C-alpha cells in the first residue's frame, strides 16, 4: 500500500468551465486506484472550516457538462496567514487526508506552495482559469470555453455594429493577461486588440481602426487590464480626440466565466485530473500538472507562479495584417 490513502480535492479562485470535469476525473481516477476521496468546499476556506464531504464515483455523475464548480470556490484571506494554514493542517490531519488536488490559478498555487513549505501533506495543482495566464502550461481549464463564448458574443455585436456603421469597444476578461483578448480578437476579425502586454496610444488605435480602408464598422477588443483603463475610459478618450465616430461600449463581464464547457475543456480537464492523482501517488508535492505541446508536464508551483507567461507577439502582427 502506498502512502496516500485519502485524497482531498478543492477548487479555488475564479471558477472556470471544465472544473467539474476535472473534479470528476480526480474522483474517478482515485476510485479506480482504490483511494478514498474527500471534497473540500469553498476553496481554502473549506480547509479552515473543515467543510468536507465524502465523494464517490456516483457523486460526480452528470456534472461534466455543467459550468461552475460543484465544490464551490472562494478567494480566502485567512489562508494567507500562518494561523489559517495551521487550522487547515489540523483539520486535514483529523480527517485523514494525505494529499490534495487543488484546481485554480496562480493565487491558489501560491497558497498551496506556502502550505507545502510548512507541512508535509502534499498539494498538486491543476491550472483552472479562463485567463490562460499560468507559466509552464499551454493550457488552463476554461480558457477554450471562455474564448468561444467571447467570439459568439462579438459576432453578434458585429451584426449591429455593421448595421449602424458603429465603432464598438468590447471589454473582455484578463486583468493581467491578454490571451482572451488576443485570440478572440483574431477569431472575430477585430480591427484592433488592446492588451496589457503591449503599449498603445490613441493615434495608433485610430490608424489600426482605419487601416487605410473605409470600414463599415469597427470592433476593438480591450482586455480589462489594458493600460487604457478599460473599454469605457478608452472610448471616452477616443471620442474626445477624434470626432465623427459613432462609438458604443460593451463589457462582456462574468458571462465569460459561465456555461457548459467545450469538448476541449472537458477532455483536457479529464487528462489533468487523472495526471494530478497519479502525481500524488508518485509522491509529488508542490507541483502543477500542465499540458505542453499536448503532453502532460509537471511544473513546480514556485515556477508556475513566479515566471511570466507571455503572449505570442507574432499574433499581434497577424491581427494587424488580417484586419
CB of 26 to ligand F6P, least distance (A): 21
- For residues 40-79, one letter each, b for 16 or more C-beta atoms within 10 angstroms of the residue's C-beta and e for the rest, the string is bbbbbbbbbbebbeebeeebbeebbebbbbbbbbbbbeeb
Say which residue the cell 468536507 belongs to: 52
CB atoms inside a 10 Å sphere around CB 4: 20
Catalytic residues, by residue number, are 131
Among 7, 130, 134, 252, which residue sits at the site for ligand F6P (rule: CB under 6 A)?
130
Looking at beta carbons only, is 52 or 179 nearer to ligand F6P?
A: 179
Stretch that binds ligand F6P, among 39-47, 126-134, 290-298, 306-314 (CB under 6 A): 126-134
246 HSE (CA, 13 A, CB side): 10
Among 14, 104, 128, 273, which residue sits at the site for ligand F6P (rule: CB under 6 A)?
14
Looking at beta carbons only, is 133 or 191 nearer to ligand F6P?
A: 133
Distance of CA 315 to the CA centre of its chain: 20
CB of 131 to ligand F6P, least distance (A): 5
* Site residues (CB under 6 A) for ligand F6P, limited to 163-182: 173-175
Would you report the helix, strand and coil content of the chain in percent, each value rounded to 5?
A: 45, 20, 35
> Is the CB of residue 105 less than 8 Å from the CB of residue 134?
yes
Among 28, 257, 266, 271, which residue sits at the site for ligand F6P (rule: CB under 6 A)?
257
Say which residues have a Cβ less than 8 Å from residue 167's Cβ, sequence separation at least 6. Answer: 161, 209, 217, 218, 220, 238, 245, 246, 247, 248
Looking at beta carbons only, is 98 or 197 nearer to ligand F6P?
A: 197
- Asked if residue 105 binds ligand F6P (CB under 6 A), the reply is yes
- Asked if residue 131 binds ligand F6P (CB under 6 A), the reply is yes
Looking at beta carbons only, is 121 or 304 nearer to ligand F6P?
A: 304
Q: Name the residues that contact ligand F6P, by CB under 6 A.
A: 14, 105, 129-131, 173-175, 224, 257
Amino acid at each position: 500500500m502506498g502512502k496516500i490513502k485519502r485524497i482531498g480535492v478543492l477548487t479555488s479562485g475564479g471558477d472556470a468551465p471544465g472544473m467539474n470535469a476535472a473534479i470528476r476525473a480526480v474522483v474517478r481516477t482515485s476510485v479506480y486506484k482504490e483511494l478514498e476521496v474527500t471534497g473540500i468546499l469553498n476553496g481554502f476556506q473549506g480547509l479552515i472550516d473543515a467543510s468536507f464531504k465524502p465523494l464517490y464515483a456516483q457523486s460526480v455523475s452528470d456534472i461534466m457538462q455543467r459550468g461552475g464548480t460543484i465544490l464551490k470556490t472562494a478567494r480566502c484571506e485567512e489562508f494567507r496567514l500562518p494561523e489559517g494554514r495551521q487550522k487547515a493542517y489540523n483539520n486535514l490531519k483529523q480527517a485523514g487526508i494525505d494529499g490534495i488536488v487543488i484546481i485554480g490559478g496562480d493565487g491558489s498555487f501560491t497558497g498551496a506552495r506556502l502550505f507545502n513549505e510548512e507541512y508535509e501533506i502534499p498539494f498538486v495543482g491543476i491550472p483552472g482559469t479562463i485567463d490562460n495566464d499560468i507559466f509552464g502550461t499551454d493550457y488552463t481549464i476554461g480558457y477554450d470555453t471562455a474564448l468561444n463564448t467571447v467570439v459568439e458574443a462579438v459576432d453578434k455585436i458585429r451584426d449591429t455594429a455593421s448595421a449602424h456603421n458603429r465603432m464598438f469597444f468590447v471589454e473582455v476578461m484578463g486583468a493581467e493577461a491578454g490571451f482572451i483578448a488576443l485570440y478572440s480578437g483574431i477569431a472575430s476579425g477585430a480591427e484592433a486588440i488592446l492588451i496589457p502586454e503591449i503599449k498603445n496610444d490613441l493615434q495608433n488605435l485610430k490608424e489600426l481602426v482605419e487601416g487605410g480602408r473605409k470600414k463599415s464598422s469597427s470592433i476593438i477588443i480591450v482586455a480589462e487590464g489594458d493600460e487604457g483603463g478599460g473599454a469605457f475610459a478608452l472610448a471616452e478618450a477616443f471620442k474626445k480626440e477624434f470626432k465623427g465616430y459613432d462609438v458604443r461600449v460593451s463589457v462582456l463581464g462574468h458571462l465569460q466565466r459561465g456555461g457548459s464547457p467545450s469538448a476541449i475543456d472537458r477532455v483536457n480537464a479529464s487528462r489533468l485530473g487523472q495526471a494530478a492523482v497519479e502525481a500524488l501517488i508518485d509522491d509529488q508535492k508542490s507541483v502543477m500538472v500542465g499540458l505542453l505541446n499536448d503532453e502532460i508536464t509537471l511544473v513546480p508551483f514556485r515556477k508556475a507562479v513566479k515566471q511570466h507567461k507571455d503572449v505570442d507577439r507574432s499574433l499581434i502582427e497577424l491581427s494587424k495584417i488580417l484586419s
